Structure 1
Amino acid sequence: MGARNFLLLLNGYTTCTTMTTPAANYIRKVAIVGATGNAGSYMTKALLATGKLAVTAITRTESTAIMPAGVQVAKVDYSDPASLVAALQGQDALVITMSGRAPPDSDAKLITAAADAGVKWVLPNEFAPDMADEVLGNEMHIGAPKRQHRELIEKLGKSSYVAVSCGFWYEWSLALTVAYGFDFGKRTVTMFDDGETKICTTTWPQLGLAVAKLLSLKIEPDGPDDKEPCLEMFRDKFMYMTSFVISQRDMFESVLRVTGTSEADWTITYVPSLERYNNSVAVMATDRTAFVRQMCTRLFFQDDRGNTEKTRGLSNKLLGLPRDEDLDKFTKLAIERQQMLEKIGMNMV
């Protein structure tokens, strides 16, 4: 009997050659693209906090970003596929979270390199509303490339994906007037329809925690009687999570509490969501704010496509994600973010 089989017997396992050892049944090495970005920085922090995952940041050769202590850095040249493959060698998982300003072929290059390097799991650049819903994805004008990236992973056949659907980021969206409709300086809010449609929206810390908890799961069950959550449950599927299932009216109540104002202090405008959406789509070619405006407005249509708790079900409980986050805390952060963006002339109004 070989040493490995002997040890398996001591631990109560059979000598089946396909049996996964406990150590091999977990991801140990994670590469992340966008480690210092808005969402990526929280993912990186949460991955490190597990104390079980070695984290490598994939960065461009010319990058001067400073990484948190404990993060290894692999410099790459996106024009050289070999450098991407080399950076991903030995990694168990790749998390892709990049700005929409990144070159459009970056995701495909990373996915192909991950396959060539033998990376088993990829979290593609989803982190959005429900892109498994092709109607929603197409009408928000972001679904096609995300779908192509998932299809590429499946076509290459070397990696599996888990697409994390979190809705839009709360602190980011509430801070942009064109997104959730709030202008805190002017004390105005644009309600879509009656303002009562609920959507799923997620804070950056919650998203980071979700990614860390997901990649900390065992890869597959330890045996036929093992009912604990594992990555296999999400292989080539979507994982739905959120921080808040919330309407604009709910957001407004939080804003009133945080600012110490009353509804009488604000100017409220009601706009049909379909009208706002169509008007935004019509000017996307010439109005830089229209793309975000149409995306977020579409999410609030009264068809529940923005509420994945209702349409898909959430994995918050399964992953141990909190549903008691402090809404007012993150509303305050969004207000401060809008003020900061206005000071530097970057707020989309």
Structure 2
Amino acid sequence: MTKEYASNQPLGFKNHIEKVAIVGAGGHVGKFITEALLQTGKHQVSAITREDSTSILPPGVIVRRVDYGDQSSLVEALKGQDALIITMNVMAPPEQQNKLIEAAATAGVPWVLPNEFGGDPLNVEIGKDNFLGDAKKAYRDYIETLDKSSWIGLACGFWYEFSLGGGSDRLGFDFKNRTVILMDNGTVKINTSTWPQVGRAVAKLLSLKILPATEDDESPALVNFKNKVVYVSSFTISQKDMLESVLRVTGTKLEDWKVINTTAKEQFQSGMQAVQRGDMSGFAKLLYARGFFPESSANFEAIRGLNNDVLGLPKEDLDEFTKVGIKMSEEDTTY
């Protein structure tokens, strides 16, 4: 296949992403993506929202209200957009994302960031065990089958502050009762990202030029990630690393905490059994525990490497975001 360069494109070719549509602009991670895109000053951001949505959006966002029961309204909202970002709850009806993908293809949107924003989508083992892998692959395959848009997946690991403050079924911490559940002695490292870092990553990615200027141009371009995954992370850390940060931030000592030792596989099985009984509260337990399996963890940096430097992402302070996670726990804002 002949490589494309900006220099051999037709007159009027625009070598940058300008108009970006985002689904879930007022949601957990969507809010940070939206704000980061606006801060670049390079993007016109449109929020795709339901007609009855009451989400509060940042100033400068164009609101495009749609009816998911009327495909033509989705197509109309996406006409002229250069990229579509989909952020939604993993429990959202699967047909909702399919409708967006179809509308993007019909409207001629060249780039789609599907609802990834989690672990490594190419890790088949973990994806099978946590029930998310097949569905996410189906969305990526559907984009390719329609052959109108290209996808880019963003792997960021568990959201750190959200997960830390979300109770013992996530990263093991119960701040109210000063209890921590350590899996496999708490030494297995995983990748995690803060919400601001995910926002920056998407904004930096969509601020890249689309094509290299010429054959000699080796600087990063969006086309380098066409139908591929971008890997970013704030911290590659273990539960013990998290605990040490918690002790620093709270001014407590280890003896002030009740430490419960188990294995990731035992924790995973406990969550799985709950789900099999119809208790979906076990899903979070199995999802997080699966990431800490010693022989197959959510440390994608060790296998895939990271694109942090390519995107120019900053180093972050672990203790700063540990404080945020603890505050979220206290305010019960992790749901």
TM-score over 0.5 for the alignment? yes
* Match in the other structure for 1:254: 245
Match status 1:200 vs 2:191: yes
Q: CA deviation at 1:20?
A: 7.0
- 1:24–1:297 Cα change, 3 Å: same
AA in 1 matched with 2:68: Y
Q: CA deviation at 1:101?
A: 4.1
Match status 1:149 vs 2:144: no
Larger Rg: 1
AA in 1 matched with 2:89: S
Match status 1:317 vs 2:299: no
AA in 1 matched with 2:141: E
Q: Which runs of 5+ in 1 are unaligned?
A: 1-12
* Match in the other structure for 1:37: 27
AA in 2 matched with 1:140: N
Which whole-Å CA distance do the structure 1 matches of 2:319 and 2:71 have between them? Answer: 46
Aligned pairs, number: 328
CA contact (8 A) 1:130 1:305 kept: no
* Match in the other structure for 1:9: none
Match status 1:182 vs 2:173: yes
Within 5 A, what are the aligned runs for 1:18-167? 18=9, 24-167=14-157
Which whole-Å CA distance do the structure 2 matches of 1:306 and 1:179 have between them? Answer: 14
* Match in the other structure for 1:5: none
CA contact (8 A) 1:130 1:167 kept: yes
Farther off after superposition, 278-287 or 167-176: 278-287
- Picking from 197, 219, 228, the partner of 1:237 is 228
Within 5 A, what are the aligned runs for 1:187-336? 187-285=178-276, 286-322=278-314, 324-336=315-327
Which whole-Å CA distance do the structure 1 matches of 2:322 and 2:56 have between them? Answer: 28
Deviations along 1:124-178, one digit per CA (max 9) or x if unpaired, are 0000111111111011111111111000000000000000000010011111221
AA in 2 matched with 1:241: V
CA contact (8 A) 2:16 2:209 kept: yes
CA contact (8 A) 2:189 2:297 kept: no
> Percent identity among equivalent residues?
49
Which whole-Å CA distance do the structure 1 matches of 2:144 and 2:68 have between them? Answer: 22
- SS in structure 2 of the partner of residue 194 of structure 1: helix
Which whole-Å CA distance do the structure 2 matches of 1:157 and 1:107 have between them? Answer: 16
Deviations along 1:224-261, one digit per CA (max 9) or x if unpaired, are 10011011110000110000000000000000011100
Q: CA deviation at 1:103?
A: 2.4
CA contact (8 A) 2:76 2:107 kept: yes
Q: Which runs of 5+ in 2 are unaligned?
A: 1-5
AA in 2 matched with 1:27: I
Deviations along 1:200-237, one digit per CA (max 9) or x if unpaired, are 00000000000000000000101110011011110000
Farther off after superposition, 245-254 or 268-277: 268-277
Which whole-Å CA distance do the structure 2 matches of 1:339 and 1:64 have between them? Answer: 26
Match status 1:340 vs 2:331: yes
CA contact (8 A) 2:274 2:281 kept: no
Deviations along 1:26-57, one digit per CA (max 9) or x if unpaired, are 01100000000010000000000010100000
AA in 2 matched with 1:82: S
AA in 1 matched with 2:213: D
Which whole-Å CA distance do the structure 1 matches of 2:266 and 2:34 have between them? Answer: 40
Which whole-Å CA distance do the structure 2 matches of 1:255 and 1:292 have between them? Answer: 21
Which whole-Å CA distance do the structure 2 matches of 1:319 and 1:20 have between them? Answer: 29
CA contact (8 A) 2:274 2:282 kept: yes
AA in 2 matched with 1:301: F
Which whole-Å CA distance do the structure 2 matches of 1:311 and 1:304 have between them? Answer: 10
CA contact (8 A) 1:192 1:273 kept: yes
- SS in structure 2 of the partner of residue 105 of structure 1: helix
Which whole-Å CA distance do the structure 2 matches of 1:308 and 1:179 have between them? Answer: 19
Which whole-Å CA distance do the structure 1 matches of 2:90 and 2:296 have between them? Answer: 26
Farther off after superposition, 92-101 or 312-321: 92-101
Which whole-Å CA distance do the structure 2 matches of 1:263 and 1:255 have between them? Answer: 10
Which whole-Å CA distance do the structure 1 matches of 2:181 and 2:215 have between them? Answer: 53
Farther off after superposition, 280-289 or 203-212: 280-289
- 1:106–1:122 Cα change, 3 Å: same
Cα-Cα RMSD: 1.5
